[in-house]
Amino acid sequence: MELIQQLINGVSLGSIYALIALGYTMVYGIVKLINFAHGDVFMVGSFVGFYSITVLDLSFVPALLISMTVCALFGVLIERIAYKPLRNATRIAALITAIGVSLLIEYGFIYVRGAQPEAYPNDVLPTDKFDIFGVSINSQSILIFGVAVVLMIILQIIVHKTKIGKAMRAVSFDADAAKLMGINVNNTISATFAIGSALAGAAGVIFGIYYIKIEPLMGVLPGLKAFVAAVLGGIGIIPGAMVGGLLLGVIEALVSAAGYSLWRDAVAFVVLILILIFMPQGLFGKNKKEKV
């Protein structure tokens, strides 16, 4: 029964990783950039949700939507100011810029509001407990997982059924050919950042409700773990990010259940090393041969 309980906890945590990982994998799929500032967009989303609930006195759904909207705009702003001028620069220049943007957001946020942590109210979502076959399941865990699944389904519909989704897939496949076919590549890339950042904002609100405490540097570790989840599933592949996030959450929960909770953060990076050694293309990726 303890094992089932930990699996439920792992799926709740994994759904948060999956939402953040989707942003990494979408941006990489389009512009081949690892956006290390993505974890800090998640942090901003968490604080926007917190202030929406405590200052504006909103309920969960409006706070979630406001957080997603603010983060989408913030993601586009980051892309236009920091990444667009480096579109044709070397990969290493873009990577260093991403790390710089991440640090700028973190310490700019601390400068503006201070480094003190905040605590989400306990009554944002119902905290009823259900006993099913001897397993106690928190209603928050069910709702968090449900919200994550709904957002992932909406993302799949956007990518496969809408005009912007088709444009994103075309740019991902061949940006130059997409441009020749009349697709506005710059707007498509901005839309990708907006959607990925909105999902990170949603993950931030869910994280705050689930773990209560939030602080300006909270995006670093979940951001890195979500990157691991994206690599685990196959970077650039949307279903891979979903599965990778859920799998990583379950692995962490099982490590904690085995009595090695101090090692749970390290396990994510052990998984990354093993994946890079034995399956560098990830679970859903395909080996690509490159001519040298």
Q: Where are the domains of the chain?
A: 2-114+140-278
pLDDT band (50, 70, 90) for residue 90 = confident
Residue 260 pLDDT? 80
pLDDT band (50, 70, 90) for residue 200 = very high
Task: State whether residue 218 is helix, strand or coil.
Answer: coil
Neighbouring-strand partners of residue 131: 136
* Helical residues (DSSP H) of the chain, grouped into ranges: 2-31, 38-54, 60-78, 91-113, 139-161, 163-173, 175-180, 185-211, 220-233, 238-257, 264-278
Q: pLDDT tens digits, residue range 172-196?
A: 888 889 999 889 999 999 999 999 9
The correct answer on CATH 1.10.3470 for the domain covering 2-114+140-278 is: yes
Is the confidence at residue 197, as pLDDT, over 90?
Answer: yes
Give the number of C-alpha atoms closer than 13 A to the C-alpha of residue 135, restricted to the C-beta side.
Answer: 13
